[in-house]
Amino acid sequence: MSQVLCSTGTLIGRPNGRDYNLIYPLSAKLECDGFEFMMYDTWYDKVSDIVQKLLEWKLTIPVMHCEKCIGEKISPGGADNISEALKLFEVNCQMADKLNAKKLVIHLWNGKTSDYYFQNNLDTYKELADISEAYNLELLVENVVCANENPMKRWCELAKKYPQIHFVFDTKMAAFHSELEWLYKEEYAWLWKDKHITHYHVNDYAGGYKEWEKLKTLPVGDGNINFQKFFSFIKHIGYNDTFTIEATAFNKDGIVDVDMLNRCFKTVRDYLN
């Protein structure tokens, strides 16, 4: 049975002070099946409190999203950077384990260095996978936007070196690189036939190929992604696992548009049903 989750990143951001205490009152208004908890780089000194509260609130958290700067530290390489990245990654794994999450999303490359030094990201994946496996977590590499090449090429390089690797497919990031249609091509059927993609991020995009100024996470239906085709394909291949809505819901004042998110959950469920 598919689960339609809400990313806590849609609720909590700089405009509302990254106040994780807002998650609980908002959760009661959201018509989702659970949450993908997003870790922030400013929360490392608050880990114990965050975990304690999330457990007290009894939220369903099947998926956790690693803090994004981990990939940013890996990309430039260097022993100190890699060591720090692995240390922070293990903290994320420990949190996911305590929250009873089963899947752990990572931006393997990130930031200004992006995929310019991809060999560093490629080599470090093995250590990340070993750490996550020790916590019984399924590590998922996201098709993060690339400044140098493209996500599908990077996925292919990873899969060639690590045949058991798993991915999370983000609709907006794929559309940004004009790769959404590639998901339906026979040459990439190995991604779903061999069950490499085990989670989906669902959000819309209103731009063309690598229009950086339009790289904004939109609600389902507010961009130009053909979700009718996307979900028809998802049903055709028999996928019935987790989806996360990632449409940014807070405005410049930090107020969260709960109704918009609930419309997204309903829209996705309607497509799936």
pLDDT band of residue 96 (cuts 50, 70, 90) is: very high
pLDDT (average), residues 196-211: 97
Identify the band that residue 114 occupies on the pLDDT scale cut at 50, 70 and 90. very high
Question: Quick one: angle between helices 79-98 and 47-56, nearest 10?
Answer: 20
pLDDT at res. 256: 98
| Distance between first and last Cα of the chain | 11
Q: Which helix (H) or strand (E) holds 55?
A: helix 47-56
pTM above 0.95? yes
Residue environment code for 146-159, b if the CB has 16+ CB neighbours within 10 A, otherwise e:
beeebbbebbebbb
- As a whole number, mean pLDDT of residues 89-95 equals 98
Q: Quote the pLDDT of residue 224.
A: 97
pLDDT tens for residues 250-261? 999 999 999 999
pLDDT at 18: 97
Give the start-to-end residue ranges of the domains of the chain.
Answer: 3-272
Q: What is the DSSP secondary structure assignment for residue 114, as one 8-state letter?
A: B
**CA gap 39, 48 in Å, rounded:** 13
The answer on pLDDT for 269 being more than 90 is yes
> Would you state the CATH architecture of domain 3-272?
Alpha-Beta Barrel (3.20)
Q: E strands of the chain, at which residues? A: 3-7, 34-38, 63-65, 103-106, 138-142, 166-170, 197-202, 242-245
Q: How far, in Å, CA of 211 to CA of 177, rounded?
A: 9
Q: What is the mean pLDDT of the chain?
A: 97
Kindly state the average pLDDT of the residues 32-47.
Answer: 98
Q: Are 148 and 118 in contact (CB under 8 A)?
A: yes
pLDDT band of residue 1 (cuts 50, 70, 90) is confident
Give the separation between CA 39 and CA 69, rounded to whole angstroms.
10
